[in-house]
Amino acid sequence: MTALPQYEMLTAQGLWRDTPQAQRRLVLLSLGDATLVIRDNLSDRAVAHWSLAALIRRNPGAKPAVYGASEEPGEELEIGDELMVEAIEKVQAVIEARRPHPGRLRRIGWSLSLVALALGGLLWLPGALVDQAARVVPTAKRTDIGRIVLRDMERTTGVACHSTEGDAALEALAARLQGISEIAVLPRGLTGARILPGGVVALGTDTLTGPDTPEVAAGAILSAQQAQAAENPLHAALAWAGSGAALTLLTTGDLPADRLRGYGAVVLSHPPAIAHGEAQTETLLEAFRATGVSSTPYAYAIDPTGEAALGLIEADPFRGAPAPEPVLADDQWLALKDICS
């Protein structure tokens, strides 16, 4: 039985010689499962059994087909019967397909590994670019990006308020707090404070019109700092802008403003969480203590009854005692309150 049923009992004639110098003689060929049997045309005696797997065609595409039993010079067989030639090549293809291919498996394995690496790279690379950019960008550039976000916020809130005395008061307040480079008061659409890249702060007018003390504005900023402590503001902005923006920043040292267009509205729509848990309250109280600011005015600004921020009142680090120094001088506070007038 042959490897292909349609070629069972297939026979043909051919010219065979056992050495390159021998005279060719007529032989009968019969196709077996894995061999080609060569018989003497007169005696019907088998003169050779060739392995189909090892059979080599010495003149691919030419006619008549000439085969050798191996790569080495020696036996040679010429076949003019096209059906037999077709059968030999089809059976060889079947034998080759059934044979184990370690090299092919290795290539498949390598291909799959490369695909996995490529997919992993696609998944890993965007986050890695954002992480790297957020880590290596210098302070001055962080502040520039914070100003870009602030200008994008102004498209919703209106332009930040300014006055000569008010701007000086904001500078004094920024210097009074840790990690703050500059503060801008936005006239509407913002409550509390938002910490932007580079220590830029967007401050809502509600922090200036409640209890008549600058501790409220300072407390709003300290609370916003704690709320964003889990993620660097620059990292948050770049994660929103995408890996392309991070790559641009890494390669050119600059981030065009259009890459952050729309991010200001996102910042405005996500107010910082107010500390409620005991651990969160303790962390915020430590920030009040470190900056020398009383937490009670801010607590009453959150809730005039004091119930929602009772921890900030009862554990105020300066309860019953004055802070080491005022947040702002009286004239500075008055100028800040009137900055949007």
| pLDDT tens-place string over residues 24-58 | 889 998 887 778 888 888 888 888 888 877 788 88
- Sign for the CA dihedral angle at 232, 235, 202, 303 comes to negative
Per-residue pLDDT tens digits for 265-322 = 999 998 877 766 677 889 999 999 999 999 999 999 988 988 888 999 999 998 877 7
CA 48/CA 37 separation, integer angstroms: 6
Neighbouring residues of 221: CB distance < 8 A, sequence distance ≥ 6: 177, 180, 183, 193, 195, 201, 203
Q: How confident is the model at residue 6 (pLDDT cuts 50, 70, 90)?
A: low
Query: Does pTM top 0.85 for this prediction?
Result: no
Question: What's the confidence (pLDDT) of residue 124?
Answer: 42
Helix runs in the chain, H state only: 82-98, 102-136, 139-157, 164-176, 206-209, 215-227, 233-241, 243-252, 263-269, 278-291, 296-302, 310-314, 330-337
DSSP state of 323: -
Tell me, what's the pLDDT at 106? Answer: 57
> Given the structure tokens 């044979």, which residue do they identify?
99
- Give the pLDDT band of residue 86 (cuts 50, 70, 90): confident
Give 181-227 pLDDT, tens digit per residue.
999 999 999 999 999 999 999 999 999 998 889 999 999 999 999 98
Q: Are 300 and 211 in contact (CB under 8 A)?
A: yes
